[in-house]
Structure 1
């Protein structure tokens, strides 16, 4: 049977979302119906709302959902009604990357997460004006209910009172922390620098601290965020507007950082991240670039010093194992990502988006109750 839901619909690029009553399909064989408790607002949602990615409109966005399973399709054995879950990115499960347990690089990542439809081209949402695109990141969780998939629902062990906090682990927090822990594998005693201290960058700071990095440097233009970075584990901060960034990092680290992370997607900042590395250092890039942007490096320095530059998607994570790992770190007091979150009621979702864009909120989360 279908489910009547309330959803925030993106109808026009650059316009506020509209709260509407929609009809959601019953779950198919591999789908999971989840009553959404809360959903994080991620930068990727904002990019789609602004029209910079080709997700068709009208659509229900949202891809950091947390909730309770209400029904499962006939082929689903991974979760059962009543389970508390986080919905993360969707994957095919059969391509070479998925078979290698590198799901973040699924060969069908883009169509399964951005095309706003099921694999067969159907949509799961209907409104008074006709079909509404669904299945954004395999969920479309800016709604009271969402259809996830067996592959992208992750069961978590938390009290229901804590469930509204868990959504950001699905993407933004997972991306920053996972890049440090899974992709860069920053070791104990290492030096690490992150460029950009939004929710992704601050998650990276917390992860570097949990890994035991000895020197953790945060770079940003906003002193308030740099202050937060210090509170969360950064040993040093650099204001990119007033300091010689590369020179300052080299001074702090005694010649260059062992590991660097760019969260901005800006080519000039990526160049700084690579230039700030010491010999045999590794930099990771995860910020969403504008289409067609290019990275320019000092080829002689890059080659002769044995530096490495890598691209990272979704923290190089397997959500089924990594999200519970982050939950355990949070329970133990080693990963206080809750300090980044500001809650908004669902009917104020446009305020949450505006505050995120203006930098007034680090990690907005909308709650459905």
Structure 2
């Protein structure tokens, strides 16, 4: 079928709007007409060569839309169903079969290689040029997307698509880090480094979990203000002094949990100094330099019983967690609408620029 997409052709250059041709859906696949799609840092990292996705490519991995056709064997959804599209997983590896699909043994292949098991891809230009598709099992920077039965989640029709779309990656990652990965206990203290959309989703998740002390550290005043509005009990400016000292002025024993969304080694190192005994640190942010390391005093860390863990997609099982977040939003307990700014799909480059300038937290592209 004919469709329209934003194509990444060269690193560090604007997306180009082009007509495309989609084949499928084949067995196990789902054709979705996209209503809205979030822009995530991962999309830009893939465009700019930091991830192993070959260009030219159609990116986008936070899609929401309506199923228009299904391939053979698909029973989970039917044409007319509204779905959020999330990360893909194989369903058969040890991680998938034990409830940890975000650690799928085929994650890198399914997210970045852009081909089916037989080596084919579903997207070409109208002139026949092959484009890398199936990014995170969807490539939803387009009017239509080929996804898989496994990575679509049926969602209600009474919530705006622009709010459902970011649940596919960024929002479920931040909230899931608190509600799933660390499973923060009621009455505990948590420190969130970075108040972008992922960090603020973590703040909202901490409120849901009943954390008593929720500290957000963020250099930009408007984001600190929003963190307080969303439920943070304290906000810190990293320029105001050493982070560990600022945290211990609030809670002398240190925090039980910390989450880093920055990927900056110096920030992660500062979190270690802010922890209490048996504290747990979750790492979400991806360093700009893939060779980045952090110094760690092994004796002190061992004596305190610290745990440092990497977090992918908030340890989410999307079919369970995305509906939970939607219910929380509808009940007023997870105000994700405060994070989203919409742009027309054709203004994708304007949205990227606005995000880069820090003017918006979570840009979401919407189709007419």
1:267-287, CA deviations, whole angstroms, 9 ceiling, x for partnerless residues?
A: 111111122111111110011
RMSD over aligned Cα atoms: 1.0
Which residue number in structure 1 is paired with residue 348 of structure 2? 349
Which residue number in structure 2 is paired with residue 169 of structure 1? 167
Which residue number in structure 1 is paired with residue 63 of structure 2? 65
User: Aligned equivalents of 1:210 and 1:29: distance in 2?
Assistant: 39
User: Aligned equivalents of 1:113 and 1:120: distance in 2?
Assistant: 16
Which residue number in structure 1 is paired with residue 304 of structure 2? 305
User: Aligned equivalents of 1:78 and 1:66: distance in 2?
Assistant: 16
1:152-189, CA deviations, whole angstroms, 9 ceiling, x for partnerless residues?
A: 00001232x61232100000000000000001001111
Q: For 1:146, what is the secondary structure of its paired residue?
A: strand
Q: Give the Å deviation of 1:129.
A: 5.7
User: Aligned equivalents of 1:175 and 1:274: distance in 2?
Assistant: 21
Which residue number in structure 1 is paired with residue 151 of structure 2? 152
User: Aligned equivalents of 1:296 and 1:70: distance in 2?
Assistant: 51
Contact 1:263 1:287 survives alignment (8 Å): yes
Which residue number in structure 2 is paired with residue 37 of structure 1? 35
Which residue number in structure 2 is paired with residue 255 of structure 1? 253
User: Aligned equivalents of 2:261 and 2:255: distance in 1?
Assistant: 16
Q: For 2:34, what is the secondary structure of its paired residue?
A: strand
1:216-274, CA deviations, whole angstroms, 9 ceiling, x for partnerless residues?
A: 00001111111111111110001012222111112211210000000111111111112
Contact 1:103 1:318 survives alignment (8 Å): yes
Which residue number in structure 1 is paired with residue 120 of structure 2? 122
1:15-67, CA deviations, whole angstroms, 9 ceiling, x for partnerless residues?
A: 10000000001200100000000000001011112221121000000000000
**TM-score, normalising length from structure 1?**
0.97
**TM-score, normalising length from structure 2?**
0.98
Q: For 2:301, what is the secondary structure of its paired residue?
A: helix
Question: Which structure 1 residue ranges, 4+ long, deviate > 4 Å from structure 2?
Answer: none
1:230-309 alignment, distance < 5 Å: 230-289=228-287, 290-309=289-308
User: Aligned equivalents of 2:361 and 2:245: distance in 1?
Assistant: 28
User: Aligned equivalents of 1:122 and 1:357: distance in 2?
Assistant: 34
Contact 2:47 2:55 survives alignment (8 Å): no
Which residue number in structure 2 is paired with residue 215 of structure 1? 213
Q: Give the Å deviation of 1:119.
A: 2.5
User: Aligned equivalents of 1:39 and 1:163: distance in 2?
Assistant: 8
User: Aligned equivalents of 1:241 and 1:49: distance in 2?
Assistant: 32
Which residue number in structure 1 is paired with residue 47 of structure 2? 49
Q: Give the Å deviation of 1:116.
A: 2.0
Tell me if 1:97 matches 2:95: yes
Q: For 2:102, what is the secondary structure of its paired residue?
A: helix
Q: Give the Å deviation of 1:78.
A: 0.5
User: Aligned equivalents of 2:181 and 2:136: distance in 1?
Assistant: 22
Which residue number in structure 2 is paired with residue 192 of structure 1? 190
Contact 1:194 1:217 survives alignment (8 Å): yes
User: Aligned equivalents of 1:211 and 1:11: distance in 2?
Assistant: 43
User: Aligned equivalents of 2:292 and 2:8: distance in 1?
Assistant: 27
User: Aligned equivalents of 2:27 and 2:52: distance in 1?
Assistant: 28
Which residue number in structure 2 is paired with residue 324 of structure 1? 323
Q: Give the Å deviation of 1:298.
A: 1.6
Contact 2:163 2:336 survives alignment (8 Å): no
Greater mean deviation of Cα atoms: 269-278 or 344-353: 269-278
Q: Which runs of 5+ in 2 are unaligned?
A: none
Which residue number in structure 1 is paired with residue 9 of structure 2? 11
Q: Which runs of 5+ in 1 are unaligned?
A: none
